[in-house]
Amino acid sequence: MVPPTFPEDVPALQRELERLRAELREERQGHDQMSSGFQHERLVWKEEKEKVIQYQKQLQQSYVAMYQRNQRLEKALQQLARGDSAGEPLEVDLEGADIPYEDIIATEI
């Protein structure tokens, strides 16, 4: 059984209803702001991730070039030690690696 409402209760109930509606609006605004903030953070993290991957690719390319250069120098030193180049000029290519940047595969984060 529903208790009877008194006319003096109606304004109090309306005030309570308006207070609850205002609280709900504030909560929704807070949620929207938080959601927007998270979306912004995701975008920032994605951009930073791409920068790190590009840096990893460049670093890996540099390491490969250094390794290949060291291999050529080791070969030249071995030729000198064996005396293979008696009178012949050594062929030492000190140029960088010819690996295209796009072919370097970096670890994804």
pLDDT tens string 68-98: 999 999 999 999 888 875 555 556 555 555 5
Which residues are CB-contacts of 92 (< 8 A; sequence separation ≥ 6)? 72, 73, 76
Summarised one tens digit per residue, pLDDT across range 17-30 is 999 999 999 999 99
- In the chain, the percentage of residues whose pLDDT exceeds 70 is 71
**Predicted pLDDT of residue 82:** 87
d(CA 99, CA 109): 23
Q: Is the pLDDT of residue 53 over 80?
A: yes
Q: Once rounded to an integer, what is the mean pLDDT over residues 32-40?
A: 96
The DSSP output letter for 26 is: H
pTM of the predicted model over 0.85: no
Torsion of CA 91, 93, 99, 105, to 10 degrees: 100
- pLDDT at residue 85, as a whole number: 59
